[in-house]
Structure 1
């Protein structure tokens, strides 16, 4: 008789594996972190881990899906009258400091690996498409309300915004001593001025 799976316990173990993999990816890089390293970090055997994820790529794909789901939550938490720039930057404004953005640094591991691994490239592309869908819809709503320059193509603009927002977590790695609050305000000002309708 097959053992009955406790959904809550199963999901809890999956989250433990994802957290262990995240630590390994930050420490060793996406390519350098092996399944055996992730198993050691998670305190389990490869056979046990494969019960939850069939491959390292499956772990990465789940991380990307979880990030997109979290982003949906940030965007969905705003009312219809919230300014467009506030919605677009809602994830950044939910953070309390640079350390809260460390999870975003996995993206740069993905970018480096995407040039070598077609499967990682597909995961990155699909995740970015999902993010752009959110941004495009928000921009179109802003244009309908007169808050966003109508000459901007929402889909193309979404790609530029992804590049800007993805680069934000790298600021403290490139320059020492940057104040988080001031940097966040400057990014908000930059996006707001960029989107503003021209007189």
Structure 2
């Protein structure tokens, strides 16, 4: 599935027949048909994977709220945004509108949980007061370059992500608190993991 997902994200759905997919992932068409009866099933499986990923994130009870979790929330948002490409979403909207709506719904539900986390931080007086809708729009704009083929092959993904994470964290916290959060070992590991994931998805 990972190879097929990469193909869809890089190239969209246009021209991706079962024969083309089998050739691209290095298996026979017969073997691919053992797992999927049609391209429609392949597309649904890719969307299922994204929806499951988004649905699994951010289900922490409010009583377990911690500011230390902020990098995780921000990186998850970048990961979910970076795991889709304009080419894939555009083609999905034309050929499989119901599947595109599933992705949009999953992302919306995730962002509702993210917004609840941010609201809790503001209510506790820890985060700066912000307009959450504008902040989410800022993240989408910031993440725009993460889901374009070749972008992360041309730049080092890890420094790019660290820079984005610092910018976003400074919207919510002061300089000292931002530095403390971003130097956590757990944050460094998460940045490294996401950099590897996005580079694998989009590197030419």
Q: What band does the TM-score fall into relative to the shorter chain? A: 0.5 to 0.7
Q: Any stretches of 5+ residues in structure 1 without a counterpart?
A: 1-17, 94-100
Q: Any stretches of 5+ residues in structure 2 without a counterpart?
A: 175-204
Larger Rg belongs to:
1
Q: Identify which of 113, 135, 146 aligns with 1:134.
A: 113
- Separation of aligned partners in 2, 1:135 and 1:91: 10
Change (3 A) 1:54 1:92: closer
Match of 1:173 in 2: 150
Q: Say yes or no: does 1:46 pair with 2:33.
A: yes
Q: Say yes or no: does 1:37 pair with 2:23.
A: no
CA offsets, 1:79-107, max 9 Å, x none?
632346423224489xxxxxxx7x93543
Match of 2:53 in 1: 67
Match of 1:187 in 2: 164
CA offsets, 1:64-91, max 9 Å, x none?
2233146448x79xx6323464232244
Q: Shift of the alpha carbon at 1:159?
A: 3.6
- Separation of aligned partners in 2, 1:48 and 1:188: 39
Give the conservation status (yes or no) of the 8 Å contact 1:85–1:191: no
Q: Say yes or no: does 1:89 pair with 2:74.
A: yes
SS in 2 for 1:89: helix
Structure with a larger share of its residues in helix: 2
Q: Shift of the alpha carbon at 1:22?
A: 1.5
* Length-normalised TM-score, structure 1: 0.60
Change (3 A) 1:68 1:176: closer
Give the conservation status (yes or no) of the 8 Å contact 1:132–1:162: no
Match of 2:198 in 1: none
Match of 1:149 in 2: 128
Give the conservation status (yes or no) of the 8 Å contact 1:113–1:120: no
- Separation of aligned partners in 2, 1:112 and 1:173: 19
- Separation of aligned partners in 1, 2:153 and 2:85: 21
Structure with more relative contact order (C-alpha pairs < 8 Å, separation 6 or more):
2
Q: Shift of the alpha carbon at 1:29?
A: 2.5
Q: What is the number of equivalent residue pairs in this alignment?
A: 166
Change (3 A) 1:116 1:49: closer
